[in-house]
Amino acid sequence: METVSIKPSTTASEVQAPGAIALRIVLAYAVFAGLWILVGDNVLGRLFNDPTQIVLASTIKGWLFVAVTSLLLFGFIRSRLDQAMAASQREIEARTEQARALHLLAMIADNSTDAIFAKDLDGHYLVFNRECARVVGKTAEQVLGSDDTVLFPSAQAALIRDNDLRVVADDRINTYEEVLDTVDGRRNFLATKGPLRDGNGRVVGIFGISRDITERQRAETALRETVEELERFNRLAVGRELDMVRLKQQVNAMSLRLGLPPPYGLNFAEAPGKSAQD
């Protein structure tokens, strides 16, 4: 399964941070250089009167300035490099862990018998697992970046889009029944969809898990029809039995009027305390 990581947009402060650091370095250097020149010239003017000595002292002062600023610059650059290396190492470790998690998620999704997917706010697919691809008869590479209008008839694509937009508007997980045309024919899916968020918590799309419930619904319908048929048969059987009991009661009554013993024992059908002769 091909996945697309969603990164938060770079903020203005992150863009300006290198410039701000460079500006601070330049200002610090300018202040230090100005103080060095001002204080150094005043000190040299007080310590030396000989122009030759002043030139020599100025040269030494210049080289000393270069040495001091080089050491300071080395220390600063070394500190920034150490920070950058540490941040880079943390970023590499975080990306490695994220890659492991995404790989595990991809394996789980691709081995699922349910269709698992994710879309951006415009309805374009970001994630499309193996079962999704099988159901529509296309590869993930053919579908990623496209919307449902390239997969289903317009009415079905519009229904899916309406459900997706309702998830975004409600900002919560919802479940819908969607009837779609697939490579297996027209199938009923129970689609559970929820909002997809980026690292800042903003809703940037939707995710979904669709389960084919066609066979389950057919089995439920067959079971319901069987139960209804049994109930009809039971009502007919009970009705026929009651008709037979009434017919036997009439025969018994006619036998008694003729002075003959009743041919059928129907004590179970007679009220308590009431004999067949009554």
User: What confidence tens digit (pLDDT) does each residue in 200-227 have?
Assistant: 889 999 999 999 999 988 888 888 888 8
How many distinct structural domains can be found in the chain? 3
pLDDT (mean) for 27-36: 75
User: What confidence tens digit (pLDDT) does each residue in 164-180 have?
Assistant: 999 999 999 999 999 99
Domain range for residue 75?
Answer: 18-108
The CA-to-CA distance between both ends of the chain, in Å, stands at 85
Q: Which range among 84-98, 205-219, 225-239, 260-274 has the greatest average pLDDT?
A: 205-219
Does residue 149 surpass a pLDDT of 60? Answer: yes
Higher pLDDT, 4 or 77: 77
Name the one residue in this structure whose structure tokens are 């950058």. 84
Quick one: angle between helices 51-110 and 12-47, nearest 10?
160
Does residue 101 surpass a pLDDT of 80? Answer: no
What share of the chain has pLDDT > 70, as a percent? Answer: 85
| Pairing status of strand 125-128 against strand 174-182 | unpaired
* Residue 188 covered by a domain: yes
Q: Are 95 and 171 in a shared domain?
A: no
Q: Are 99 and 117 in a shared domain?
A: no
* Residue 140 covered by a domain: yes
pLDDT (mean) for 103-125: 87
Q: What is the chain's mean pLDDT, rounded? A: 81
Q: Are 171 and 226 in a shared domain?
A: no
Confidence of residue 7 (pLDDT cuts 50, 70, 90): very low
The pLDDT of residue 277: 43
